[in-house]
Structure 1
Amino acid sequence: MSRALSSSRIGLFQALTACVFWGLMPVYFKLLQSVDALEIVAHRIIWSVPLLLVILYFRKNIASLGPAFTDRKLRWAMLASASLIAANWLIYVWAVHEDHILAASLGYFISPLLSVLWGRIFLGEKLSRNKWIAIAIATAGVSVLAVQALDTLWISLALAVSWSSYGLVRKIADIGPIVGLTAETSILFLPFTLFLIWLTFGLPPSTASQHLGDDRMIDLLLIGGALVTAIPLVLFASAVKKMTLSAIGLLNYLAPTIQFLVGVLIYKEALTPSHIICFALIWISLAIYSTDSFLSGKAARKPQSV
C-alpha cells in the first residue's frame, strides 16, 4: 500500500513537472524571437532525433521503432501524426512570436473537448448527457470570442484541431509515446534538414538566413529545443503509468492555464471582455467534463473492487 502511494506521489511530481515545462514554453520561444518560427521547428525536430534515440537505447526499446517503418498501416499513421505535430508546433511558435499566447492557450483548452467529439464521431464512443452539455458550453464560449477576436480565433481552432487530431491518430496507432515521437521526428528529419541546408546556402528563392552559429545563446536555445521537447514527454509518459487517468486528465489543464497566466502577467497581452467570457465558459465546460469523467471512472471501478 505504502509502495503504491509512494509511486503515485512520484507520478504526480513527474506530471506536474511536465505540465510546468509545457506551461512555460512561451517564455522559451520568446527568447528565440529573432529566429523564424519555421527554423525553430526545424531545429527542434532535427536535434530531437539523436536525443530520443539515445533515450530509447538506454530504455532498451530501440527495437520497438522497427514496426513504425515496416508495418504499412503504422507507417501511414506515423506519417499523418508527424504532419499534424509539425503543423501544431509551427502554429504555436508563430503565435508566441506574434504575441498571441492567449489564443494559443485557448486552443489547448478546447483540444480535450474536441478529442471527446472525435471519439464519438470516429471511434463510436458514447457521450454522457453532461459531456454533451460541456461541449455545448465550450462551443458557446468560442462563439462569444468569434464576435470580438475573429482575427486570432483561427489560431486557437488550428491548434485545437491539430492537437486533438494528433491524439486521435496516436490513440489508433499501436505505438508508445516516446517511440512514436522518435518515429515522427525521424520522418520529418530529412525534409527539415534540407530546409536548413537551403537556408544555410541561401539558395533561391530564399531571402532568409540560418541563425545557428551567429550567437552562442541562440545556438544553445535552438539545440535545447530537443530537451524541451523530450524531457516533459518522458516525465509525462512515466507519470501515466503511476497515476489514475482521471488525475492525469485534470492535470492536462494545468499547462494551458500556466500559458494563459504567462500571456497576461508576463507579456501583458490584452484581456478583452470576450476573452474573459470565453475562458470562463471553457473552464466551466472543462469542470463539467472532468467531474463527469471522474464519477464515471469511479463507478466503473466500484464493481471490480467489490
Structure 2
Amino acid sequence: MKNYENETKSGMIYGLSAFLLWGLFPIYFKQLYELNFAEIVSHRIIWSVVFLYILLKFGKKLLQTKALFLNKKTAILLFVSGILIALNWSIYIYAVNINKIVDASLGYFINPLLTMLLGVIVLKEKISNAGKIAILIVFIAISIQIYDVGGLPFISIILPLSFAVYSLVRKQIKIPSLEGLFVETTMVAPIALIALSFIGASGDGHFGFSWFGIFITLCGPLTVIPLLLFNSATLRLNLSTIGYMQYISPTMQLLIAIFFYNEQINNAKIISFILIWIALAIVSVSSVYANKKAKI
C-alpha cells in the first residue's frame, strides 16, 4: 500500500512538472522574438533530434530505434506524424509570435474533445451521452468564434486538429514515445536543415556561438523533457487523473496571455471559454460517476 502511495505521489510530481513546463512555454518562446516561427521550429526539430539521440545512446536503445527506420509501414506513418507535429509546433509558435496566445490556449482546451470526436468518426469508438453533449457544446463555442472573427478561427481550430490527427496516427503504431519521437523528428529534420540553410543564406539566421545561440539550443531539451515527465506520470497515474491535469497548461497560458502580455479577450472569447469549460466539466463529472459505478 505504501509503495502504491509513493508511486502515486511520484506520478503527481512528474505530471505537474510536465504540465507546468508546457504552461510556461509562451514565456520561453517570447524570448526568441528575433526569430520567425519557421526558424524556431527548425531549431526545435534539430535540437530535439540531438537531445533524443544522446538519451537513446545512454539508454542503449539505438539498436531498437534503428529497426523502426527499416520497417517501411512504420517509417511512413512516423514521417506523417513528424509532419503533423511539426505543423502543430509551427502554428503554436506562430500564435505566440503574433500575440495570439489566447487563441492557442482556446485550441488546447478544445483538443481533448476533438480527439474524442476523431476516435468516434475514424476508430468507431463508442461515446457516452455526456461526451455527445460536450462535443455539441464545443461546436457551439467554435461557431461563436467563426461568427466573431467572420471566418474560421485558424489557430484555435488547426492547432488542436493537427495534434488530434497526430495522436490518431501515433495510435496506429505501438512503439515507445521516446523512440517514436526520435524517428519522426529525424525524418523531418532534412526539411528543417534546408529551411535553416535558406534562412542563413538570406542573412536572417540568428544562431551562433553565443549565449543566445545556447538559449536557442534549449528548445530541444525543453521539447523532450516535459514529454518524458508526462510519460513517467502516465505509468503511475490513472488516465482520468491525467485527463484532469492536462488543463493546467492551457489555463496557465491563458493567464499568462492576459496578465503578463496584456492580450485582449473579448466577450465572444469569454463565452467560448465558458462553454468549453462547461463541456469539460460534463465529461469529467460523467467520467468520475462511471468509475464509481464500475467499482460498486
- Asked if these proteins are the same fold (TM beyond 0.5), I'd say yes
- 1:252 maps to 2:246: yes
Matched residues in 1 for 2:281 and 2:167: separation?
21
In 2 relative to 1, CA 130–98 (structure 1 residues): closer, same or farther, beyond 3 Å?
same
Residue 281 of structure 2 corresponds to 287
CA distance in 2: counterparts of 1:299 and 1:172, whole angstroms: 31
Residues 149, 187 of structure 1: CA spacing in aligned structure 2 closer, same or farther, 3 A cutoff?
same
- Residues 101 and 253 in structure 2, CA contact (< 8 A), matched pair in contact too: yes
Q: 1:295 to 1:172 in 2, by over 3 A?
A: farther
1:205 corresponds in structure 2 to none
Taking the aligned partners of 2:216 and 2:148, their CA distance within structure 1 comes to 36
Task: Give the length in aligned residue pairs.
Answer: 296
Structure 1 residue 293, shift from structure 2 partner: 2.7
Instruction: Work out the CA distance in 1 between the residues paired with 2:177 and 2:287.
Output: 23
CA distance in 1, matches of 2:23, 2:213: 23
Q: Is the 8 A contact 2:38 2:195 kept in 1?
A: no
- Give the structure 1 partner of residue 207 of structure 2: 212
Letter paired with 1:264: I
Work out whether residues 234 and 242 of structure 2, in 8 Å CA contact, stay in contact via their aligned partners in 1.
Answer: yes
Q: Please give the alpha-carbon distance, in whole angstroms, between the structure 1 residues aligned to 2:151 and 2:90.
A: 18
Deviates further, 39-48 or 188-197? 188-197
| 1:125 corresponding residue in structure 2 | 125
Instruction: State the AA in 1 paired with 2:102.
Output: L
Q: Structure 1 residue 41: deviation in Å?
A: 0.6
C-alpha deviations, 1:189-232, integer Å up to 9, x for none? 12211221222233xxxxx5211128x34312210000110110
Aligned to 2:52: 52
- How big is the shift at 1:299? 4.1
Q: Which residue of 2 aligns with 1:30?
A: 30
Aligned partner of 1:93: which letter? I
CA distance in structure 1 between the partners assigned to 2:214 and 2:288 by the alignment: 42
CA distance in 2, matches of 1:71, 1:157: 33
Map of 2:225 onto structure 1: 231
Alignment partner, residue 296 of structure 1: 290
Using the size of structure 2 for normalisation, the TM-score is 0.95
- For residue 72 of structure 1, report the CA deviation from its aligned partner: 1.9
Q: Structure 1, residues 218-267: CA drift from partner, whole Å, max 9, x if none? A: 31221000011011011111111000110011111111111111111101
Residue 21 (structure 2) pairs with residue 21 (structure 1): yes
Contact 1:100–1:152 under 8 Å retained in 2? no
Question: How far apart are the structure 2 equivalents of 1:126 and 1:152?
Answer: 28
- Rounded Cα–Cα distance in structure 2 between residues aligned with 1:277 and 1:51: 41
* Residue of structure 1 in register with 2:147 after alignment: 147
The aligned residue for residue 195 of structure 1 is 195
The C-alpha deviation readout for 1:142-187, integer Å capped at 9, x for no partner, is: 1112222346711110101001111111112111111111111110
Percent of pairs identical after alignment? 38
